[in-house]
Structure 1
């Protein structure tokens, strides 16, 4: 059953990854039944109302194709070290959600290419199965033929080189590998996605008009919807590229300030007075923060026996940001702050398992704003 915490109705799991039918999937199912059903009824009048049941079976085959496509992404993503959260079949086909960004051009390309390859394999399997079905079983041949065509089309269409299609991620990986810049890859793939959106509308709508034909309303609507999907996805990639270039201008070291580490059982009198204190539990897990102003307040004689645990302010889950070095850019810090949300004011930066210092969200925002100003002034 669907609820507010889920993207839809859960079908099952794949290596602990939940698989959902998204809440928008019934829309595409209704559209397919409403359009494919009459075509089946016209081709096979003897079926009567059963023609719509045949159309319903086709929606199930389409659902199988979507799940297979996304499952391929998920399995290869797990192999390449991604934390896969869920697989969802929705109005636009489907998507696989990850907790982390692509770790390398090779990982990104591999995860992207296996989706269309899965559809190509299904198309081949359907084509082989079609040869084993007798010509007297016309409805079965119709369903299998539609299954073959759909999977072949999805495989080819998804390999087109533009975001947000899988081919766009492959193009992104190629440019990323060639230039060493993920932002450059996203920018190229994003603009190619926008070109694809324009070409798609030109081919399906403008081209018939130039030939003097009147495009059917149904195909016009779907063309515009698909082109809109491509345009928005491409725009998101371009926005990510611009954000990545901005983040690259600020290093973790630029916004980091020193902090002391103390166990939560330490007496307040044992803590340094001129710096922030990160409080850890018996296992060494940081959970609280004591500001210098709070330590000054605790300097009164009657509070000399107070321990750090009583003075520390509990920090929200996710306040620890792991980075490989303080010389890297602040992308990981921005992502950590976004994941936690508005409840966070400080991030604890950890390098190789050791706390390196604190970063105030306000300081991080100011540094990014300052880094953006020269670019705005030069436009």
Structure 2
């Protein structure tokens, strides 16, 4: 019985590793006859694993998708990866904390002792770091709607929320009509979910913050378009207009930087806003826990900085300049 169980687990591992297996190759890998391999396949089917038979000369067996969730098989590294993911995912998607905790509890109970020890060593305690740039979590239904539209290549109608998460109504001064977009990519960067889409009215590519969208799926299909530059990661990181709004901080300031907007966008903290001025200049709005913190972040861009506001930030820049001057000594 123990040999049969071990062999069934080995068979399941093989079926997970490749899309389709000929019966003879499965039997060879398991070191058994084809008849025994068939019996093991029936054993897994009895445990609700949806193993389908593919007919024809190139046929074999394939692990499909079922209507229920049967027991899963993870190796040690996969189990640790799932553990870490379950501990970190709730910070970016609203309402997952309880479900993720239950899933992690279930996973822990069925782990071998050696894997459980490694997982407990990686138990994460989330702390609000001084330099952590917070972001609001995404509603699961919005994420599902956007993700489904991207996967099925269906046009999406989106309404953008205000910075405080409320919806502007017709007649409001800041009301923006719903847009019809072709959703091409769903991207996670700096703990934020972004939708890269082609705006049908503007005939231009746009980036939207998913947590600021009210999406309404349609069944209208669209054809893939070529993204400018072809690299979605670079497109998101270097775009100064990502639908971001300034994150609320105790200290908020702005400055004009002698750098292009796409360069500042790549390195600015999450929750900052970059305004394109011309090919060589932009305006950066950002916040931190202290004015010295805002001034320190501005200095990391190593470029000319002007038009600094408010006065508190100007004062912090002067104080930092005096401290750095004292630290470096007189200039030769």
With normalisation by structure 1, the TM-score equals 0.25
Point out the structure with the larger helix share.
1
With normalisation by structure 2, the TM-score equals 0.28
Point out the structure with the larger strand share.
2
